[in-house]
Structure 1
């Protein structure tokens, strides 16, 4: 089983930035992370494709309709009604052809979260993935060659990431932290099959998550397992209720869990948005002016928590982030005014 994962250099850049945010924002973390990662409610987020044919592009766009039907944001795939073609981007681009840049040519599935897709500090080293114009921000590996079963659910999962959703198994209100069987069973003898996958040993003792994911095809070190699976028990982070029906909840092999059936295991079909997913979309991208005004008030709180100097200008250590945040506050104000009109 191969899990979705961003390249290591991209994960490292995100972790460095997020540590800075935590140190700068203090108690406003939950609003800082949510509001900076969120696209502006009521806005249009442009999508473009690197490869794949027009039928694949049309199918991807169709699968995301379930998302945009549920919230106040539009995904624009740039379809030309006359030709039936969709917007494309290239790795040579120096200006953004789109906010979300889709590819099918890399291994596996992944997406940057929300506005990380246009954060130029991510992938600044020039790798294939990042927040710069010529870098992939969302990948659906080998869809151009062979789509897997239930491919629509994977599309919705990755596009929810692109709209600022995180994984449900990392929700501190869930049970996954305690339900996951992190370590090997006592006296397990590391045993791999012909493909390099860790399996039960001759006595039937099973590997734990750390050992299993260290083998093929993932080859993850412990730090990467922690980043992708562990729950961060931070009292400053506001999370919604754990939703076992969410398309954002991984469907793991049964031996990952301590109990059967596990309270952490998904109960949805993995294809369609759950009621909880739809509620989350409405919270991130509300429709009413009052709800948008509430987002603006929260953004103001975070801006103050980051801090400014005596003249009201950004501190030197946080200038770019504060400027970006002020721009997002301004966009929220504009959205509210447009709604009032």
Structure 2
């Protein structure tokens, strides 16, 4: 789902990439770890590197009016890339600028500038996440508003594309497509709960509900038709659904992503 006039995020894919929102890896809850040791085994579907969206109060921003989270069309947003290497920062710039081709918005990339509206860190182990849209304005200038926790010199271009475009989509106010107001994914909920309870996520059922099953309302968002190919969609393996439904790894902007963001930030 394209968003929805926008907020700060945390993004995604499945090996599913989302919460607090997409790319954050949660620590195991002790009681769960002790009671369900069988869930600590290796997942047959592989590790899910989840990209998440973050909200100001630490929860999924479903109570927020996402329409109010977009930036002003035509604005130039200063983006400070803090840390990592020049080569990795250049990769982030390369893929983030994909949005500029279709949205009337510009990114001015700098380094180590706390006055920047979007402040990107590269903290390993902290997942990949972003605040949604203008929520970044409410974050202390000493703190990051986006993080890339697993991008390295050996990361493939397709993974850079998937993660960077996704997170900058959150920064422009887009939410996760699998939580589209009109989505009808036939989740196999017991299988999903078991999958996400295991490494590397260690999610509780409440976290799974919040990150995957809960939808945004039509009154909260501006939205287009549901789009399985959206860059904002988590990967959904067939093993986690009932019947024959799956979504692969979306690594580039879909046609609907492009037309939707152009409607949100018109030229």
Shift of 1:149: 5.5
**1:113 maps to which of 106, 109, 132:** 132
Shift of 1:143: 1.7
**2:211 maps to which of 228, 231, 247:** 228
1:244 aligns with 2:244: no
Shift of 1:145: 5.1
**Who is 2:8 aligned against?**
none
1:56 aligns with 2:36: no
**Who is 2:36 aligned against?**
none
Kept after mapping to 2: 8 A contact 1:2/1:217: no
Task: Give the structure-1-normalised TM-score.
Answer: 0.59
**2:247 maps to which of 231, 255, 265:** 265
Kept after mapping to 2: 8 A contact 1:2/1:218: no
**3-state SS, counterpart of residue 156 of structure 1:** helix
Partners of 1:4 and 1:215 in 2: CA distance: 16
Deviations 1:268-309 (A, max 9, x none): x6222111101121122112xxxxxxxxxxxxxxxxxxxxxx
For residues 113-152 of structure 1, what are the structure 2 equivalents within 5 Å?
Answer: 113-119=132-138, 131-144=139-152, 146-148=154-156, 150=158, 151-152=160-161
Instruction: Give 5+ residue unaligned stretches, structure 2.
Output: 1-14, 27-53
**Who is 2:196 aligned against?**
213
**1:168 maps to which of 174, 177, 181:** 177
Larger Rg: 1
1:285 aligns with 2:265: yes
Shift of 1:234: 3.2
**Who is 2:29 aligned against?**
none
Partners of 2:216 and 2:60 in 1: CA distance: 19
Partners of 1:245 and 1:16 in 2: CA distance: 22
Instruction: Give 5+ residue unaligned stretches, structure 1.
Output: 22-31, 79-86, 90-95, 120-130, 184-207, 288-341
For residues 58-77 of structure 1, what are the structure 2 equivalents within 5 Å?
Answer: 58-77=90-109
Kept after mapping to 1: 8 A contact 2:88/2:153: no
Task: Give the structure-2-normalised TM-score.
Answer: 0.74
**RCO higher in 1 or 2 (8 Å CA, sep ≥ 6)?**
2
**3-state SS, counterpart of residue 107 of structure 2:** strand
Kept after mapping to 1: 8 A contact 2:129/2:148: yes
Shift of 1:102: 1.0
1:13 aligns with 2:13: no
The structure whose residues are more often helix, as a share, is 1
Query: Kindly tell me: are residues 165 and 215 of structure 1, through their superposed partners in 2, closer, same or farther at Cα, counting changes over 3 Å?
Result: same
The number of residue pairs the alignment matches comes to 219
**Who is 1:180 aligned against?**
187
